[in-house]
Amino acid sequence: MGELDVMGRMLIVFGVLLIVVGGLILLFARLGPFGRLPGDIVIERENFSCFFPLTSMILLSILLTIVLNVLVRLLSR
């Protein structure tokens, strides 16, 4: 198997992973409190609004870390 074959397969896996993660984010946005968790920072003023989803991003980071670790372990066998 050549280097281009390996790189092509890796790109396909990462592309599928991005599609799955994007779908999960859309699902969480519709079903759950994703983006409205305690710890998410929302500042609203008269002509200004700022939203910083701190807790949601930490939760997403933990979830992605777990998923990527499982994928790496499965692909390295």
Strand ranges inside 1-77, DSSP E: 41-44, 49-52
Confidence class of residue 14 from pLDDT cuts 50, 70 and 90?
very high
pLDDT at 34: 65
Helix axes 3-31, 54-75, angle to 10 degrees: 140
Query: What pTM was estimated for this model as a whole?
Result: 0.55
Number of domains in the chain: 1
Handedness of CA 11, 22, 69, 58 (dihedral sign): positive
Checking if the pLDDT of 36 tops 80, the result is no
Give the whole-angstrom CA distance, residue 37 versus residue 12: 33
Range of the domain at 67: 3-75
Mean per-residue pLDDT of the chain: 86
